[in-house]
């Protein structure tokens, strides 16, 4: 066999590989011009600098994973999707290869097939190595690519070399062809290779270059597997039997009780008697003894929903609610929402600290806040753990709101010790209308600029807010029969052109609930989907009241994104699946169709566990967002939105998780469209597609920042008795946390990322070194005046001292030393890099806000 012979065979394979890439690219471009859902995806993939990379990945014949999902030609073909045409690339190129070698010797065919596979592997390697749009880097092991390509070419070679007579034309095996036994063995091998290429092989990936999950700053608790409190398993079996052997269930693995249960249980009208009869579901002896009626709601269909709140000695347990969902007759319980704590350790229900003292402590964290509701007592439960009662803290619940700052938090002050122990955010970043104009000032105006029925104002933002709020109201009224965000005709109040600092735009919007219930907008932020998003936070607050942190917070954000798109579709008869695309100078901040474009997970297995942004509420919203997008492509956004609305307003409780929302969507689809309907099946399929299957559960997030951890236990020994108290320090830290949520300067964004990457290691090092813990406590105490004034008008006059900077530098150096001594080095390297880039020495003598502006230019 001559070298020329081999090179000619390899060239044949190379040409076929190039042909495959071109066919895949042309198919993507062709589909893009055809429109529809497939056209939108194809246009996104096939155009721009990443198009060729996607075509290379598709040409391998393996399923292609990218930022928005997975393109598996076989599954797409079964679904009848036009995107299945991407398989034409490898199929036609393999056929071309087979035709080119059909009359050649077997050695030539083998060399050509090898050249074909090697060429595709080389294309993939080149596409991954070349600098390109980071969204479309190709990641695929060369071995798997070659294996898949060999499988395609082997099938094509066997098909074209087989002896077959058709209409008088005989295609015969050329002299030197393969014996029948060899053909049979090769056929079986090729089929196995194809199966491996589509199932076992790692897919060719054209997706984000950085798929890393950010480290978690704090502890994580793995979900217990199969844990049930006594009596729960028998109660679930009873529920399954009553429902005909199949029951929708979402289990809370830490409490050991079901958080949601579908059933069909007779109801005689006495809720307490029913609760006691089914006590096993709640893991209590007598649930009715602790559950007090909270509200009753009726659907337009006549179905009743009875909600209860857990109380101990008349004091509510925060976030602990139970819902009994009855059929139209009121004689059958069809579904149960269970957010109750099955076992609580309550040391006392008698307060020894006055509510006025608690209010004063809370005001340390938000000096400009006004009281949104009367101060009241609540029991704050710790996270449940199997086999033990959850410790509780009797706390004064102090809700403060500062609309000008876009901050609304509930602060919890220990009612027996006076310490600030917890903060729960209420504000979130979004038909009687009243619009006020702040006119670029930091003080909110009193007099409205335009009210219901008045003609247009001379301020464009005022008119835009008036119109957008009206459109959102009309959507909820006409589609869901809901009268305003609270369901009882609440006024639609808004303030536009708000600033937090006189000389700087506030690039944000928020709905601030409480006694003010007001939408506030920065300049040019009055756009349709943002308005719908923010006002939906008011709907959530009035119904499920999803806690704005961790998984419940991510659901909270997601429902607002969902109805942002639903309102956009209602008003414009189409939607773009992008949140905030019309914000001037910024554009979209999230994508529901392709969450990973913005670094957000599109699958529960990619959940980002971090303490920033209240446990990743904005980022992790991408999981349910992706599910809703997939569901909408199957049944339409109108139907999907009705399922989402019922889930949010009827079935979820404050501390709901993704698995709860999954069951809520499935039950809502059952009720709206029928248990065996296509809508019900697609709802389950959409959740499964994003990794929420009712079995897998992410570890629980347990967030404690470095300041929180250092100011507990032995860290208090390091405090200066003459310095700010512990409550003042924690209040300053909470202020900085609020800034991360409401102010997006380049420096703050940078340090939020740094903390996400470094916090876990820092907490670990501090926990192992009591001296480092004391040093950290003293440092955050020293820095309290600086923390307290960041981003406020007081920050214009508060000067950073060399002493403060020296203590901060010493602390960071101590962490770097501890990191290297413990066998690490990554944290130490990051600290040294940050110290060099920030030029800390130049900050001495600057005011706090001058320093922040300086850091914006150095590290942002």
DSSP, residue by residue, 627-671: HHHHHHHHH-HHHHHHHHHHIIIII--TT--HHHHHHHHHHHHHH
Contacts of 441 (CB under 8 A, 6+ apart): 499, 502
- Give the mean pLDDT per block of 10 residues along the chain (860 residues): 78 85 83 64 59 73 53 59 77 80 78 82 70 46 67 68 41 44 50 40 39 32 68 86 77 88 91 92 90 90 91 93 93 93 90 93 83 91 78 91 76 88 67 56 55 70 82 92 82 72 61 62 79 90 89 94 95 92 82 89 87 80 96 96 96 94 95 92 95 86 65 72 76 72 70 72 82 86 82 82 89 91 86 83 86 79
Cβ-contact 400, 433 below 8 angstroms: no
* CATH T-level topology, domain 435-542: Elastase; domain 1 (3.10.170)
Cβ-contact 657, 259 below 8 angstroms: yes
Per-residue pLDDT, 557: 94
Q: What is the C-alpha to C-alpha distance for residues 318 and 654, in angstroms, rounded to an integer?
A: 9
Per-residue pLDDT, 667: 94
CATH of 355-425, one of 3.30.70.120, 3.40.50.450, 3.10.450.40, 3.30.750.210: 3.10.450.40
CA-nearest of 237, 229, 348 to 284 is: 229
Q: Specify the pTM.
A: 0.66
Q: Using the 8-state DSSP alphabet, how is residue 196 labeled?
A: I
DSSP 3-state helix, strand, coil percentages of the chain (rounded to 5)?
50, 15, 35
Per-residue pLDDT, 744: 60
CA-nearest of 112, 93, 85 to 9 is: 112
For helices 460-480 and 550-572, angle between their N-to-C axes, nearest 10 degrees: 100
Cβ-contact 443, 411 below 8 angstroms: no
- Helices (H) and strands (E) in the chain — how many of each? 28, 27
Burial class (CB in 10 A: 0-12, 13-18, 19+), 576: middle
What is the total residue count of the chain? 860
Per-residue pLDDT, 176: 43
Active-site residue, from 278, 618, 735, 750: 618
Three-state secondary structure of 753-805: HHHHHHHHHHHHHHHHCHHHHHHHHHHHHHCHHHHHHCCCHHHHCCECCHHHH
Per-residue pLDDT, 450: 57
CATH 3.40.220.10 fits 561-700, yes or no: no
Q: What is the C-alpha to C-alpha distance for residues 229 and 281, in angstroms, rounded to an integer?
A: 9
- Residue with token string 């609580």: 344
Per-residue pLDDT, 409: 85
Q: Which two tokens stand for residue 499?
A: 């600033």
Per-residue pLDDT, 325: 95
Per-residue pLDDT, 511: 64
Per-residue pLDDT, 35: 59
Cβ-contact 75, 216 below 8 angstroms: no
Element (H, E) at 154: helix 142-161
Per-residue pLDDT, 198: 38
Active-site residue, from 309, 334, 534, 667: 534
Per-residue pLDDT, 474: 92
CA dihedral 171, 174, 177, 179 (to 10 degrees): 50
Active site residue 618: yes
Per-residue pLDDT, 573: 94
């Amino acid at each position: 066999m001559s070298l020329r012979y081999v090179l000619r065979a390899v060239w044949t394979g190379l040409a076929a590989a190039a042909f495959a890439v071109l066919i895949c690219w042309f198919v993507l471009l062709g589909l893009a011009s055809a429109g529809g859902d497939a056209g939108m995806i194809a246009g996104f993939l096939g155009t721009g600098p990443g198009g060729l990379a996607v075509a290379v990945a598709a040409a391998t014949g393996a399923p292609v994973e990218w930022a928005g999902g997975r393109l598996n030609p076989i599954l797409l073909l079964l679904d009848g999707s036009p995107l299945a045409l991407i398989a034409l690339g490898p199929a036609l190129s393999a056929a071309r290869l087979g035709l080119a070698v059909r009359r050649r010797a077997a050695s030539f065919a083998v060399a050509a097939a090898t050249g074909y596979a090697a060429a595709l592997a080389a294309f993939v390697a080149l596409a991954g190595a070349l600098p390109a749009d980071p969204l479309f880097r190709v990641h695929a092991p060369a071995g798997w690519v070659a294996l898949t390509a060999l499988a395609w070419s082997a099938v094509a070679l066997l098909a074209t070399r087989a002896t077959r007579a058709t209409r008088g034309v005989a295609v015969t095996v050329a002299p030197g062809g393969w014996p029948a036994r060899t053909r049979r063995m090769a056929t079986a091998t090729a089929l196995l290779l194809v199966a491996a290429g589509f199932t076992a092989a790692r897919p060719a990936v054209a997706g984000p270059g950085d798929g890393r999950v950010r480290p978690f700053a704090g502890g994580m608790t793995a979900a217990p597997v199969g844990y049930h409190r006594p009596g729960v398993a028998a109660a679930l079996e009873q529920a399954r039997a009553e429902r005909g052997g199949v029951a929708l269930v979402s289990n809370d693995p830490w409490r050991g009780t079901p958080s949601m249960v579908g059933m069909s249980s007779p109801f005689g009208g006495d809720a307490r008697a029913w609760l006691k009869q089914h006590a096993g579901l709640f893991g209590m002896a007598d649930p009715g003894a602790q559950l007090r009626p909270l509200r009753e709601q009726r659907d337009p269909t006549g179905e009743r929903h009875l909600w209860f709140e857990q109380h101990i000695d008349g004091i509510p347990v925060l976030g602990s609610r139970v819902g009994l969902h009855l059929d139209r007759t009121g004689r059958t319980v069809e579904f149960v929402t269970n957010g109750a704590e099955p076992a609580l350790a309550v040391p006392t229900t008698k307060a020894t600290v006055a509510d006025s003292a608690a209010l004063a402590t809370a005001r340390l964290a938000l000096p400009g806040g006004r009281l949104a509701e009367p101060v009241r007592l609540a029991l704050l439960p710790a996270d449940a753990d199997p086999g033990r009662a959850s410790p509780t803290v009797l706390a004064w619940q102090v809700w403060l709101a500062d609309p000008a700052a876009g901050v609304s938090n509930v602060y919890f002050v220990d009612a027996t010790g006076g310490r600030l122990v917890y903060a729960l955010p209420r504000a979130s970043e979004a038909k009687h209308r009243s619009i006020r104009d702040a006119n670029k000032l930091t003080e909110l105006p009193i007099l409205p600029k335009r009210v219901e029925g008045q003609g247009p104002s001379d301020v464009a933002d005022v008119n835009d807010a008036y119109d957008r709020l009206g459109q959102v109201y009309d959507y909820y009224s006409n589609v869901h029969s809901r009268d305003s965000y609270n369901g009882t005709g609440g006024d639609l109040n808004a303030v536009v052109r708000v600033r937090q600092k006189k000389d700087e735009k506030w690039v944000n919007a928020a709905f601030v609930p409480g006694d003010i219930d007001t939408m506030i907008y920065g300049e040019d932020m009055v756009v349709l989907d943002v308005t719908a998003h923010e006002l939906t936070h008011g709907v959530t607050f009035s119904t499920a009241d999803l806690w704005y942190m961790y998984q419940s917070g991510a659901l909270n954000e997601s429902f607002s994104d969902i109805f942002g798109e639903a309102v956009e579709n209602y008003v414009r008869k189409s939607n773009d699946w992008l949140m905030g695309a019309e914000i001037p100078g910024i554009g979209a901040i999230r994508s529901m169709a392709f969450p990973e474009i913005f670094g957000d997970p599109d699958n529960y297995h990619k959940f980002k566990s971090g303490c920033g942004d209240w446990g990743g509420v904005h980022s992790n919203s991408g999981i349910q967002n992706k599910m809703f997008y997939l569901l909408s492509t199957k049944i339409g956004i109108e139907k999907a939105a009705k399922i989402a609305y019922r889930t949010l307003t009827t079935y979820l409780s404050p501390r709901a998780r993704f698995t709860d929302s999954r069951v809520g969507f499935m039950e809502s689809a059952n009720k709206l469209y029928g248990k065996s309907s296509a809508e019900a099946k697609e709802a389950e399929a959409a959740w499964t597609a994003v990794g929420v299957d009712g079995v897998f559960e992410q570890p629980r997030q347990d967030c404690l920042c470095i300041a929180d951890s250092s100011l507990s236990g032995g860290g208090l020994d390091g405090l200066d008795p003459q310095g700010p108290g512990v409550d003042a320090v924690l209040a300053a830290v909470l202020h900085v946390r609020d800034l991360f949520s409401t102010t997006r300067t380049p420096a703050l964004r940078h340090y939020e990322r740094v903390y996400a990457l470094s916090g876990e290691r820092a907490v670990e090092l501090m926990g192992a070194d009591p001296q480092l813990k004391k040093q950290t406590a003293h440092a955050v105490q020293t820095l309290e005046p600086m923390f307290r004034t960041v981003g406020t008008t007081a920050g214009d006059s508060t000067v950073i001292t060399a002493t403060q900077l020296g203590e901060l530098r010493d602390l960071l150096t101590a962490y770097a030393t501890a990191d290297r001594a413990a066998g690490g080095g990554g944290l130490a390297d990051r600290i040294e890099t940050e110290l060099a880039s920030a030029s800390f020495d130049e900050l001495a003598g600057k005011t706090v806000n001058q320093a922040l502006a300086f850091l914006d230019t150095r590290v942002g």
